[in-house]
Structure 1
Amino acid sequence: MSIDIIRTGAELELAARVVELVRRAAGPSAEAEVMVQHDAEALTRFANSMIHQNVADAVTTVRLRLHLDGRTASGATTVVDADGLRGLVERTLAAVRLSPPDATWPGLTPPTPLHRSAGYHGSGERSGLDFGFDEATARATPAERASRVRDFVRAAEGLETAGYCRTTYSSAAFANSAGQSVEGRTAEAAMDGIARVNGADGVARLASGRLGDLDGSVLGARAAAKARAAESPVELPPGRYEVVLEPEAVADLLDNFSVFGFNGKAYGQKQSFAEIDADQFDPSVTLVDEPLGSRDEPAPGLPFDDEGTPRESLVLVREGVTKAVTHDRRSAAEVGAVSTGHASPASRTWGPYPTHVRLEAAPAATEPALPPADYSGPTAESARPLVARMRRGLLITDFWYTRVLDQKTLVITGLTRNGVWLVEDGEVTAAVSNMRFTQSYPQALGPGMVMGIGSESVLLPDRWSGTRYAAPALHLASWNLTGNASG
């Protein structure tokens, strides 16, 4: 079961066909936009240190949004033959006639070429810079994924392991009745696994645009070393602690910043902490949304959004100053801005948010320091110098089950996971049981609160919101731990 790749250009033909069907059925006054996306995912999952599931799924979805006589309606289908497309147009036309007036319709994206760094021009012409797509990853076999699982399990040296290795492929095309016509494709690989011993868990995660970048042996050894180091934890009282957050935990910060903070709809409704051109973060903090990837890290998303707007790099925070939030065409029109290329099916309800955020890494001190166990890899290298500078605090691997208590100030509550350690005078002295925290994320990264940033960002698998983040380790002056294992 390898990932299914359909013929290049097929999605663009489908999109153009639906636009023509709308024109014939509704006349030239109808405004139509069509997104055709083929998604294929293959997953090799393991538990109890053995593979128990290998699955693959592929589906092509056609989404139509139609504006006619001042009203708007949307429809979708996965039936892409002639009858399926004709039925989609007929249903959407019937729905638009029953829809309420849409006074905030922002109009269609005009013909606009894709940015060269995306590897494509408009109208489907390739620019020759398609460095963001790895054919081998798109066509990865179950045996290739299984070999990485095998290496992970062997590297754990007898510890119980569980997790997955996944490869995905997406190709998409967009066309509208205003003449915009673009296409693109992307592939990604990810591995996420835990090792467990005597109730203690260790985790290792990594994502890349190339399956070849994932080394199961390195990830398995890291997870096992962290699990062994987390045995026999002590309990600490609640309170404010200096912390070093490893990249897995930092990804949760970036996720919540993106969905609830840099969301253009939340910003327009004044439900976001974001204030453009305000010094809201420590000067060491720069956040960039990078949907197109780069030569050094070719793991891009599609080069355009669901409205056909080309995507490009967007600086959200530069040296502590909030510079931008993300918009689709509707949220942009409501605040007098322009779309940043962040429309999605979800953006029409939940608002547009960044999905490829990178916290820029920074040079770190070079003093040697021991992590909780002697393991190699980007997480350890990124965190070691930060730990070495900590007088007394906590090294935290991961956060989970985080929930928003107050969206405007982005106060979050959640739990630590997969390893917490007490650090004293730059050395790890004890494993610590998991704790609950209640913390304003913007406040934690506010001016004067960031004591250091790791020297390398780690690309991590997508989270619950469908987002993917590149995160370094982070040294913060204060984190509010509000409970421990006993209450």
Structure 2
Amino acid sequence: MSELEIAGQVVELVRRLAGPDAQAEVTVTRADLALTRFANSFIHQNVAESGTAVRLRLHAGGRTAAGSGSLVDRDGLTALVERTLAAARLAPPDPAWPGLTPPSPVPPGTALDEATAYASPDERAARVRAFVDAAGGLETAGYCRTAYRSGAFANSAGHSAVGRMAEAAMDGIARTGGADGVARRCADRLGELDGGVLGARAAAKARAATDPVELPPGRYDVVLEPAAVADLLQNLAWFGFNGKRHAERQSFVELGTAQFDPSVTLVDDPPHASALPYDMEGTSRGALTLVDEGTTVAVAHDRRSGAEAGAASTGHGMPGASTFGPIPHNLRLLPAAARAVGGDSPSPVGPGGDGTAAGAVADADTAALVAGVKRGLLVSDFWYTRVLDPKRLVITGLTRNGVWLVEDGVPTRAVRDFRFTESYPRALGPGRVLGLGRQPVRQPDRVDGSWWEAPPLRLASWNFTGGASG
């Protein structure tokens, strides 16, 4: 059976077993996921899985429950409906049930790249080989992955949708003398990932990060590379532009207020890349502007949070949204070039560097921002970030994969890792963004289908509170 046929069969089973008044929505997704991992500069694991997941949400007798399964024969689907119905009978009343998505058009998603959808292990391995070779003898580790999903949605209100998506990503480090350099990229097409270019960049960054010096904590002018900016976008999405948290007054968001610098425009944009064109409730997924030239204009909603806020769903229904809230997963920080002329090509990633601190800058986009810094820091990456104050979105975390002191527009020496404590909205506030690169780079998330896209970013102040040890 096709995914749509499976979804339709579950809807019919709900009608037969739970009665005509029961409301059901069904999502069926077939996935082919493959990962080629390498460490110590050789491939040590190639794994692939194919499976079908069926998710049912059922509202019956004023109560709601959800269930999932992977058996798509008649017995398996019947068992899924029976156990979900049993769970609904035990669930508390759900007076806030928002109802089902009515029949409505769902535009087709972006064109699927068949070569990525059906990529072979050899094709991923070739990119790993290019990464390792380009690192010039440095120790390397990382992965190359491909993903293909086809799916369908159906509900008992008569609404249905179908879609397909494919994605590729590569993430690798090169290491020398205890210093790491990183290069990452996510793309709709495996053919857009050049392992040699990424490996050369990671190696150049690693060589430039050796023999770091200790600097005192304090506020520094910073240039954040796209990998670090991705962490800003992820935390803003989870804890700020989340409609449930906003309704509970646990978010910094103040709609209609100029909370960000005028250079900041943030868009959650699933159609920008290969993505399923509907959410878990069957709502069409379109581009949603969250911040327009510094002014916060929207938050993400599913049907439940939207109904509570008196707003429509923005296409952000997802498993667990009733607990965690609806979360944007495809956030873009638009550079001036993209806003003006629609440019969205990836930043060129050159080999750069001869082992000196100057090798920390591997592309012209970052170099242009660094050139304007009198005294500050160039930061490659953030990690282990945790929320201290959700309302102001104060985050603490660590730098990694390279930090450099910049003096008079030139990186002069590598610096030991810092701990930082910073309010992300404050750091991006009016007058605090001193520059945006012109070319965004899409960064992979831990799960396929989610990504964060941004150019490098120069900020007037970032609060470093100590070394990595505390």
TM-score normalised to structure 2 length: 0.94
Kindly report which structure 2 residues correspond to 1:253-272, keeping only aligned pairs within 5 A, or say none. Answer: 253-272=232-251
Residues 1:386 and 2:361 are matched in the alignment: no
SS across alignment from 1:249: helix
Q: Distance in 2 between matches of 1:428 and 1:59?
A: 49
Asked if structure 2 preserves the Cα contact closer than 8 Å seen for 1:363 and 1:453, the reply is: no
For the residues of structure 1 that align with 2:469 and 2:67, how far apart are their CA atoms?
A: 50
Between the aligned partners of 2:447 and 2:292, the Cα distance in structure 1 is: 26
Equivalent pairs counted in the alignment come to 454
Task: Please tell me the residue identity of whatever aligns with 2:82.
Answer: E
Q: Quote how far apart the aligned CAs of 1:26 are.
A: 1.7
The runs of 5 or more residues in structure 2 that have no matched partner are 339-351
Report Cα offsets for 1:325-384 as digits up to 9, x if no partner: 0000001111111100001112122110111110001259xxxxx97444896xx23211
Percentage of pairs with the same residue: 65
Q: Does 1:274 align with 2:253?
A: yes
**Which residue type is aligned with residue 306 of structure 2?**
A
Query: Counterpart in 1 of 2:346?
Result: none
Contact 2:208 2:359 survives alignment (8 Å): no
Whether 1:320 aligns to 2:294 is: yes
Indicate yes or no: 2:405 matched with 1:422: yes
Partner of 1:113: 105
Contact kept, 8 Å, 1:145 with 1:165, in 2: the verdict is yes
3-state SS of paired residue (1:483): strand
SS at match of 1:242: strand
The residue matched to 2:244 in structure 1 has which SS? helix
Counterpart Cα distance in 2 of 1:276 and 1:253? 19
Query: Which of 93, 98, 102 does residue 94 from structure 2 map onto?
Result: 102
Partner of 2:464: 481
- Structure 1 Cα separation of the partners of residues 13 and 443 of structure 2: 41
Asked if structure 2 preserves the Cα contact closer than 8 Å seen for 1:221 and 1:375, the reply is: no
Deviations 1:65-89 (A, max 9, x none): 1111111111111111111000011
TM-superposed deviation, 1:38: 1.3
Q: Which residue of the partner structure matches residue 22 of structure 1? A: 14
Query: 1: CA distance between counterparts of 2:211 and 2:308?
Result: 55
Distance (Å, rounded) in 2 between the aligned partners of 1:166 and 1:208: 11
Aligned residue number for residue 292 of structure 1 = 271
Q: Distance in 2 between matches of 1:407 and 1:467?
A: 22
Most deviating of 277-286 and 454-463: 454-463
Letter in 1 for 2:426: Q
Whole-Å Cα distance in 2 between the matches of residues 485 and 135 of structure 1? 44
Runs (5+) with no aligned partner, structure 1: 1-8, 120-129, 294-298, 365-369
| Matching residue within 280, 283, 294 for 1:306 | 280
1:222–1:376 Cα contact (<8 Å) kept: no
- 2:460 aligned with 1:468: no
The structure 2 residue matched to 1:59, chosen from 48, 51, 55, is 51
- Amino acid across the alignment from 1:85: L
1:245-273 CA deviation, whole Å, 9 max, x = no partner?
Answer: 00000000000000000001101101000
For 2:446 and 2:257, locate their aligned partners in 1 and report how far apart those are by CA, in whole Å.
28
- 3-state DSSP of counterpart to 1:292: helix
Aligned twin of 1:355? 329
Structure 1: distance between partners of 2:93 and 2:397: 42
Partner of 1:180: 159
Alignment of 1:217-228 (within 5 A): 217-228=196-207
Q: CA deviation at 1:11?
A: 0.6
2:315 aligned residue (341, 353, 362) = 341
1:118-129 equivalence runs, <5 A: 118-119=108-109
User: Deviation digits for residues 106-144 of structure 1, max 9, x if unmatched?
Assistant: 0000001113xx44xxxxxxxxxx42x111100000000
The root-mean-square deviation of aligned C-alpha atoms, in Å, is: 1.6
Q: What corresponds to 1:73 in structure 2?
A: 65
Contact 1:30 1:68 in 2 (8 A): yes
Residue in structure 1 matched with residue 432 of structure 2 by the alignment: 449
Q: In structure 2, what residue type is equivalent to 1:386?
A: L
Q: 1:341 to 1:427 in 2, by over 3 A?
A: same
CA–CA distance in structure 2, aligned partners of residues 201 and 243 of structure 1: 20
Distance 1:423 1:341, change over 3 A: same
Note if contact 2:369-2:436 (Cα within 8 Å) is conserved in structure 1.
Answer: yes
